[in-house]
Amino acid sequence: MAPTLAVSFNDSSEIIDFVLKKGNGVKGLSEMGLDSLPEQYIQPLEERMCDTITTSQESVPLIDISKWDDPGVAEAICEAAEKWGFFQIINHGVPIEVLENVKEATHLFFGLSAEEKRKYLKELSPSNNVRFGTSFSPEAEKALEWKDYLSLLYVSEDEASALWPSVCRDQVLEYMKRSEIVVRKLLDVLMKNLNVTEIDETKESLLMGSKRINLNYYPICPNPELTVGVGRHSDVSTLTVLLQDDIGGLYVRGNNDSWIHVPPVNGSIVINVGDALQIMSNGRYKSIEHRVIANGSNTRISVPIFINPGPSEKISPFPEVLASGEKAVYKEVLYSDYVKHFFQKAHDGKTTIEFAEI
């Protein structure tokens, strides 16, 4: 018989130690077969995805991008970025095998022993660029999120080869390499719509000077209705490229405060606009609030690639956007300051963008 919470832990500090310091993560809690959710994970009522929250039957656009030369494709991408901030793409050219391999690699990493994963905890990892963790920002959170992750900042192929966990390294690198072609095409289309006709070296560093990939693991949860997989937030990226498995659970903010499910579509990739692109487009492209629910019967994984400005870049609305006399809504901010502000607090909806508002 699986141990209950009362048998396993004497007090809350033991849970924190087990989850955060010993490398067990919430996966370790899940595998104990707990009868009830530890109180550290119980979210305030307003943060839960409960019956009082409206879910919409609408869906974010699904765009076939096989014909890049078709003006209708560019139009659909820009309209989705302006109206929804989220869309799914199919026939994107990243082989299904590459997508499946990186999903399998995610399960392989989280299938490692706690001792093995613990080597990549913030305090023990050989590099700040390779980090295994749990929740979002535990030091700042009143209630923890039901998620473990491996976060990998891409610096170079050499560094990745030397420092990334070997069980998932090659699959992740291949996925990043293949998806970069799509990212460049998407940014090209989105920039032309802003009258930015060329992505030169300066613009490239501004749009995609830094790349981070996360392997996210959401284990089966007791009382999933009391907690969250990921709390309400918008990304701080330029674009986020998300691969999700077939379990579902990602919701995005719709109109009238409703929440729209982003259903898994076989072979698709989810694209969303991040705060950096909202700022650079002066609000034309929308970085939308989203969240992930916990699941009581299935483990879910997802693999987001965050395409970010370089940390030393200063982001502000593009001059090309303001050329017609449009008034700037955002001031210039150092991107590393913006990111620091984001990680210093718990997930709190769309409030991060206020850091850059005039």
If one counts the domains in the chain, the total is 1
**Which residues are within 8 A (CB) of 115 and not within 5 positions of it... i.e. 6 or more apart?**
23
What is the C-alpha to C-alpha distance for residues 234 and 252, in angstroms, rounded to an integer? 10
Say if 39 falls within a structural domain.
no
CA-nearest of 83, 44, 37 to 60 is 83
Amino acid at 353: I
Could you tell me if 83 and 285 are in contact, meaning their C-beta atoms sit under 8 angstroms apart? no
Instruction: Taking residues 64-74, report their average pLDDT.
Output: 93
The pLDDT value given to residue 36: 82
Q: Which two tokens mark 297?
A: 């019967």
Containing structural domain, residue 73: 58-356
For residue 31, is it within any domain?
A: no
79 within some domain: yes
Q: Say how far apart CA 151 and CA 144 lie, in whole Å.
A: 18
Residue that wins the pLDDT comparison between 351 and 311: 311
pLDDT at 333 over 80: yes
- Are 277 and 238 in contact by the 8 Å Cβ rule? The answer is yes
Angle between the N-to-C axes of helices 169-192 and 201-208, in degrees from 0 to 180, rounded to the nearest 10: 120
Distance between CA atoms of residues 111 and 84, nearest Å: 36
- Which residue stretches of 111-168 are H helix? 114-118, 157-163
With a cut of 70, say whether residue 139 has pLDDT above it: no
**30 touches 221 (CB < 8 A):** yes
Domain presence at residue 40: no
CATH number assigned to the domain comprising residue 273:
2.60.120.330
Tell me, yes or no, whether 110 lies in a domain. Answer: yes
Output the pTM of the full model: 0.91
pLDDT in tens, 143-188: 788 899 999 999 999 999 999 999 999 999 999 999 999 999 999 9
Q: Which two tokens stand for residue 331?
A: 């001031």
